[in-house]
Amino acid sequence: MKKPVESGDILPAREAIALLDEIDLGPTIDLPPVPPEAHPENIPEDERRWLKREIARLKRERNAIVLAHNYMPPDVQDVADIVGDSLLLAKEGSESDADVLLESAVLFMNEILAIRKKPHQIVLAPDKGALCSLAAHADVRKIRDWKAEYPQGAVITYVNTYIDVKAESDYCCASANYGKVMAYALERHKTVLFGPDVYLGFHVAKWLQKMGYSLDRLFLIMGACHVHDQIRPHHVDEQRRLHPEAAVVVHPECGCSSGCTSALDQGLVTEQMMQFRSTQGMVKFLQETPQREIIVATETGNLYPMQKIAPDKVLIPANREAVCPFMKQNTLHRVWNSLKNMVYEITVDPELAKRARIPLDRMLSIN
């Protein structure tokens, strides 16, 4: 009897894609509750102003910068020096000369800064419970087994992975640059393993076919972000029905990927009206599309920086329940506490850091 496919399993791309709508890609780790203070309306205005003043003061005293991912609570984005996706934060954070790098994100992003920081720098995370359900799908043992079977192959891992997985990788990539990284790797290797996000892997497969590469050269890890996985084709279809004049922008991690791609392939919607973009690319899409209404398929936190960039646009979440409880552990109170008490410092094993830095540097140089 054939063993059932599980989270973290590695499959040929054709087989993995065929199973997209069958396998359970839900979280393999416990989900924390969203703190009440992650919602700005739950913080009294006087307290909010005080916290923001104190954070500004502590940044000056500590020679610190605050980096915040697009999915952070609005208050946290407001006190950040840099707001962006994982690729932008990795680049800007590692180029900074500040003594303290406080990154409000999930822990694999803090690890990236800890790997690439300068010797004098300290990396802080506001909360050590800010894990990642996608990163949890990657199984180091299974990756090592694949490498043993395909010694001429290359391992490309999405940046949403922990340091032990990066240390086993030849290249890292983000949703903004997977095509460039994949092209670079395919010129140098016979086969490629990509993961752990199988939905982004679906787009990698489509890109391979478009560029004329054989799909037989690609293997995928079965994993997904539980939040993006919850954004299904019916969510997008319903919002398009309610807002027929709206453009649609979709993060490639979403569970609606195959359905939206099918709609494009069948000519049911034009590329002008529906596009797949990275987290940061979604912000740019707002500036490019002439449509006033935009249906946004991603974690809802990204609507805040998008709305700030384009206040005249009407943003419609594809699924209002697409909220990451891990990202939301980074509250304004916890950012203040982190700077005040210099917690929680993120350090990494030096040997793992040395190995993990190689695919990270390649990602940034290829980009």
pLDDT at 367: 65
Helices (H), 63-127: 74-79, 86-95, 107-116
pLDDT, mean over the chain: 95
Characterise 342 by phi-psi region: left (phi > 0), alpha (psi -120 to 50), beta (else): left
pLDDT (tens digit, 9 = 90+) per residue, 152-164? 999 999 999 999 9
Rg of the chain's alpha carbons, rounded to an integer? 20
CA distance 84 to 69: 5
pLDDT at 30: 97
- Residue showing tokens 């994982």: 86
- List C-alpha distances in Å: 272 to 54, 178, 245, 248: 45, 22, 12, 9
Which residue ranges of the chain lie beneath pLDDT 50?
none
**Token pair of 346 as six digits:** 């993120």
pLDDT at 21: 83
pLDDT at 334: 98
CA distance 222 to 18: 12
Residue 294, helix vs strand vs coil:
strand
Q: What domains can you pick out in the chain, each with its CATH number?
A: 10-26+136-224 (3.40.50.10800), 36-132+327-351 (3.40.50.10800), 228-317 (3.40.50.10800)
- Residue showing tokens 């839900």: 26
Q: Which residues contact 100 (CB under 8 A, 6 or more apart)?
A: 62, 63, 64, 65, 121, 122, 124, 339, 342
**Nearest C-alpha neighbor of 125 from the set 281, 341, 344, 319:** 344
